[in-house]
Structure 1
C-alpha cells in the first residue's frame, strides 16, 4: 500500500480548522474499524474505507468517528497514488440524531401526555372529595330526619368516599409509575445523546486525483480513552503436576464507538509516557533540626510493612477456550496479536481475553511459622519466569479445582522466584510447646540469666512425603548490655540480623518429626526487658 502524497502537513495547527464549515459538495463516506492496538493506556485505531474519487479535487468526509481521537496522531494512506491537499478534524454539529433517539423522544412525549391526563384526573377527584365533605349536613337545624334517611345518607357517603379514595390511590400509583418511566427515558436520552456526541467526530479531507478511480483508504488515529490491564489464573491440580498459568488481558474503551468483530492486539508499550531522557539535579546537604529529625523518625516507624502471605479477598472466574495468539517481542515492549476478532463495547465495559496459557514446572513446598499460626501452607515456587512477559497484576489461585485466594504478581521484583500460597493443608499438624524443664531464671552477681526453650512437633498425615520449610525465631539484642546466646538449634540456620531460625525438612508419609531450640538472655540486675 502506498502512502498518500502529503501536500499539507496533517499535524500543523489542526485545531484552527475546527470551526470551518463543511464543503457543500463533500461526499460522506462510511468507514469500519478493522484493527485496534490497545496499549496499557490508549489505543491505536485502524479504519478502512472505499471511496469513488472523481478526476480533480474531491472533498471527502469520513464520519461516525470518536470525537476523542488525538488530532496529531491522524494518518491516512491509500492503495493508489493520490494527493492529499488537506485534512482536518471536525464535528458533525450539535443536532445529534438517530432512530433510537427519535423513538425515545416520541415515547417521552406520549408519556408526558399520559401524566398530564392523570394529573387532571387527580385534580377532578380532589374537587369531588371537597364537594362531598362540604355537604355532610343532612337537613336544617329545625328539620327532623328519620333513622332510615340517616342510614341511606351514611351508605351514600360511604360508597362515594370509597369510590373517590380508591380512584385517588389508583391515579397516584399510575402517576408514580409513569414518572419513573419518564425518568428512565430521560436518562436513556441523555446517555444516548452523550454517545452520539462522542460519535460525532469526523475527518474532512481534500484529495486530488488524476482520474476517476476507486480508492481504498486506511485511516489510523490514537485515542486515550482505552487501555488494558493483565490478570492471571494460577491452577495446580496436585503437587505431582506442573503449574498452569493463564495470562488474561482485560480490555476496555470508552470512546462511544463499539468495536465490532475487530482484530485486537494488546501491547505493553506506553505511547503517552514521556520520551525525554530524565535529568538529574544537585542534592544539597544541610543540618537537620532536632524537631524535624524526630518527625522523620516517627514517620519511618509508621511506614507499612510488607506482608508475606497471600490474603483471600474474593472469587475468581474461569474462561472457556483460548483464542490463537501470536507474540511480538520488541526491544522495549511486547504485544499479543489475537487472531480471533472480538467485540468491545464503547461504554467502558471490560472484555477479558485469554492470551496465553503456560504449563510450567514448579517446586512445591510447605511453609510454616508456628509462632504465628500452627498451620502449614502449601506454596508453589516458580523460577525462570522472566521470559513470560508478565506485568504487574492480580492472580486468582486455584488448588485441586478450588479457589483458594488471590496474590499480586510483581514483575519488577528483584527475586528470580515467584511464590504462590495455595492455602492451608489440614493434613499436616503442627504444635509449638514451651519446654518448662529447660526454662529458668537465675541471678549471678549483678546479672540476670533467663533460659527459654521450645519444641516444634510436625506430623505428616498425608499419604506422600512432603518438603517443609519451618521458621521460628529468637530475639535480637538492641543494647550491648543485653546478651543472647543460642544454645540449641537442632540444625537450623540462623539469620543473626533478624534472629530467624529456618529448618528445611523432608517428612515421610505418616511420620512425625520434632525440632527444639533453646536460648539464654543475660542482662543487668534491676532492669526489665521486653520484646518489641
Structure 2
C-alpha cells in the first residue's frame, strides 16, 4: 500500500527543469533595453517549475512577461541573482590595479606639495603686510622685500601651475586604466540572473515560450558628422547611432531596433499648482536647468571640459565638480573653466558652489557648459513634447533599408540585418541616415569680443531631420574642425555651425578718440566714444562678411545714451546690436565707424567699453 501511495503522489509535485533562453530580438532604448528570448519547453499536466539560468543580473524583475502559453496559466514568476565563485585575479589585472595605486600616491604627493606652497604663499602675503608697516623699515629694505616677494611669488605660482597640471594628468590616466580594469572584470562574471516560472498546464504538451524583460546598463546615443567640401557645395549630413551594452550577456545574431523611448524615465504626469506672486530678488533663469533631463548618458565620453558661469554669464572660479560614485573631482579655474577625466561607468557630474543650487548632469558630451542658479530661485519647469499621429517613411537611399517609425510619443529605427554585440565591448556604431543638405555660408566677426573672422554655415528646417541631442564632428575641406553639441531641444528655425577661422581675413577694432569728460551744469559727466573697425580681405576672391558690434543700452534713467552714429549699419533697438554686411573685393580693405555719447551723474561710475 505504501508503494502505491507514493506512486500516486509523485505527479502532484512540480519537477524543476532547467531550460535555455535564446535571445532573438533586442529593442535598445536611450537608457535600457528590452530583451525578447525564446525557449522550447516540455509541460506535464499540472504544475511545472521551469528555471532559466545564466541570465543577465541586471534584469528588472517587474518587467518580465511570458507569451506563448497554450492551455497553461502562470502561477508565479520569480527572479533571483545567483553568485558564482570568483575566478583567480589575473596578473594583468593585478598590474593595472598596482598602477592605479602608484598614481594615487603620486596625486597625494602633488596635493601635499600644492598645500605647502599655498600655505607659504599665504604666509608671504601676511609678512609683506607686516614688513611694509614697520616703522623702522627704510626704502632700501622695502625694495629688497618687494623684489624677493615678487620673485618668490612668481616661482610659487609657476610651481602650483605645474603641480596642478601633473595632478590632473594623473587623474586622467587613472580613468583610462580604470576603464581597462572594468573590461577585464567584466569578463569575470561574478553574478548571474535566474528566472523561475511555475506554470499550470491542462494537458501534457510541447510549447515555445517567448519571455521579454528589461535590462539596465544598455542604451544608445546619437552622433553626427557634418562635412562641407567648400562654400558652394551642400553639407553632407551623417546620422549615426552608438549602441552600448554592459548587461553581462552577449547578444548574438539578434534583430535590433533602436527606440527613442525611455522606460526608466518617470511616467507620472506633472501636477499644476497655483501661481503666487511676491517680492523677491530677480534672478535670470538658467536654460540648462530646464533641459538637463533631456540629456542622456554617453559612454563614449572619456573626458569633459567646459565653462561654469552664474545666471548672468559671469565665470565662477572654484566650483567643485565631482563624478557621482567616484573619488574623481576637480575645480574650475579663475576663468570658470574645467576639465575632468571620466572613468568607465561614471555617468553623472555634480556641480557645487556656495550660494548656488547643486546641479547634476549626465555625462552626455565632451563639452558641457553650465549656468548655475542662485539658491534663492527654485525652478520646476516641465517641458512636454510629443509627435502627432503615426507615420512611416523611408530614409534616403544610402540607408534606405532602415525603417524609421514615428509613433505617438516615440520614434524607432528597425535595423535591416542581424547584429552581435558583446557585453563590455566598445560601442557598436550604426549608420541611420545620410543626406545632403542645402546650406548658407557666411563669414562672421564681432571684433569687440574676438578679432578672428569665422566661416559659418546655416542649415534651415533642420527640425525635419528628427534629431536627438548629441555630438557632431565638423569637417571642412576634408579637414577636421571641431566637435559641437547639437541641442535638438532648441526651438530655433535655423541651425548655425562654425567651420573655423579664416586667417586670410583680418579685422581690427580701435578707439578713434580718447575718452572726453566735461562738466555739465556741474552735476553731470559726459563721455564721448568713437570706434573704427577695419576689415581686410587677403584672399584672391570677393567675399561678404557679417560684421557686428554694439551700442550701450541704459538700464537706469540717470544714464542717458545719445548722439548715436553707426555708418550705415542696421540697428536692433532692443539689443543695441549693430550689423554691417560688408562686401570685400579681393585684396581690398573697408572701414566702418560708430560713436555715441553717455551722460550720467557726476561722482558715479559707469562701466564703458574701450
Q: Please list the CA deviations of residues 419-448 of structure 1 after superposition, one character each: whole Å capped at 9, or x if unmatched.
A: 111110112111223324x97555554454
**Alignment-derived partner of residue 486 in structure 2:** 409
Query: Which of the numbers 514, 522, 525 marks the counterpart of 2:599?
Result: 522
Aligned to 2:313: 305
Shift of 1:413: 1.1
Q: How does 1:19-38 map to 2 (within 5 A)?
A: 25-38=15-28
- In 2, are the aligned partners of 1:440 and 1:450 still within 8 Å (CA)? yes
- Give 1:157's aligned residue: none
Match of 1:63 in 2: 53
Distance 2:470 2:435 in 1: 16
2:403 equivalent in structure 1: 326
Give, in angstroms, the shift of residue 63 of structure 1: 2.5
| CA drift at 1:333 | 1.1
Question: Is the partner of 1:84 in helix, strand or coil?
Answer: strand
Task: Write the mapping of 1:404-443 to structure 2, written as runs, cut at 5 A.
Answer: 404-436=481-513
Name whichever of 379-388 and 466-475 sits farther off: 466-475
Cα deviations across residues 137-156 of structure 1 (Å, max 9, x unaligned)?
xxxxxxxxxxxxxxxxxxxx
Kindly report which structure 2 residues correspond to 1:176-215, keeping only aligned pairs within 5 A, or say none.
191=185, 195-197=189-191, 199-206=192-199, 208=201, 210-213=203-206, 215=207
Residues 1:409 and 1:315: Cα distance change in structure 2 (over 3 Å): closer
- Kindly indicate whether the alpha-carbon contact (under 8 Å) linking 2:23 and 2:251 is maintained by their aligned counterparts in 1: yes
Give 1:369-408 correspondences, 5 Å limit.
Answer: 369-408=446-485
Q: Deviations over 1:178-224 (max 9, x none)?
A: xxxxxxxxx99994797241x332233425263544x3322111123
Counterpart in the other structure of 2:239: 247
SS at match of 2:262: coil
Residues 153-302 of structure 1 aligned to structure 2 (within 5 Å):
191=185, 195-197=189-191, 199-206=192-199, 208=201, 210-213=203-206, 215-285=207-277, 293=281, 302=310
Match of 1:86 among 59, 62, 75: 75
How far apart, in 1, do the equivalents of 2:556 and 2:182 lie?
Answer: 71
Structure 2 portions without partners, runs of 5+:
1-12, 92-180, 287-308, 316-336, 340-364, 368-397
- Using the size of structure 2 for normalisation, the TM-score is 0.59
Distance 2:312 2:604 in 1: 31
Structure 1 residue 327: Cα displacement: 0.7
- In structure 2, relative to structure 1, the CA distance for the partners of 1:84 and 1:510 (3 Å cut) is farther
Distance 1:282 1:504, change over 3 A: same
- Residue 503 of structure 1: how far off its partner (Å): 1.4
TM-aligned CA deviation for residue 495 of structure 1: 2.6
The CA deviation at 1:530 is 2.9
Distance 1:520 1:40, change over 3 A: same
Aligned to 2:547: 470
Is 1:460 paired with 2:568? no
Moved more, 502-511 or 440-449: 440-449
CA distance in 2, matches of 1:66, 1:325: 28
Checking the alignment, whether the CA contact within 8 Å between 1:367 and 1:470 is kept in structure 2 is yes
3-state SS, counterpart of residue 189 of structure 2: helix
Question: CA offset at residue 345 of structure 1?
Answer: 2.9
Please state how far the C-alpha of 1:384 moved relative to its aligned partner.
Answer: 0.6
Change (3 A) 1:493 1:486: farther
Shift of 1:274: 2.9
Shift of 1:470: 0.7
Aligned length: 410
Secondary structure, counterpart of 1:195 in structure 2: coil
How far did residue 281 of structure 1 move? 2.2
Q: What is the distance in 1 between the residues matched to 2:567 and 2:576? A: 15
The answer as to whether partners of 1:263 and 1:341 remain within 8 angstroms in 2 is yes
Q: Is the 8 A contact 2:74 2:197 kept in 1?
A: no
| Structure 1 residue ranges without an equivalent (≥5) | 1-22, 109-186
Deviation at 1:520, TM superposition (A): 2.4
- Paired with 1:371 and 1:365, the residues of 2 have a C-alpha distance of 19
Q: Distance in 1 between matches of 2:416 and 2:601?
A: 74
Aligned counterpart for 2:38 among listed residues 33, 41, 48: 48
Q: Any conservation in 2 of the 1:324–1:340 contact (CA below 8 Å)?
A: no
SS in 1 for 2:556: coil
**RMSD (Å), alpha carbons:** 3.8
Partner of 2:161: none
Look up the SS of the partner of 1:256 in the other structure. Answer: coil
Deviation of 1:484 after TM superposition, in Å, equals 1.9
Residues 1:297 and 1:335: Cα distance change in structure 2 (over 3 Å): closer
User: Is the CA contact (8 Å cut-off) linking 1:312 and 1:406 kept in structure 2?
Assistant: no
Is the counterpart of residue 368 in structure 1 residue 445 in structure 2?
yes
TM-score using structure 1 length? 0.67
Contact residue 226 and residue 237 of structure 2 kept, 8 A: yes
> Using the alignment, how far apart are the partners of 1:298 and 1:281 within structure 2?
22
1:126-177 C-alpha deviation (Å, 9 max, x unpaired): xxxxxxxxxxxxxxxxxxxxxxxxxxxxxxxxxxxxxxxxxxxxxxxxxxxx
Which of the pair has more CA radius of gyration? 1
The change in CA–CA distance for 1:477 and 1:48 in structure 2 (over 3 A counts) is same
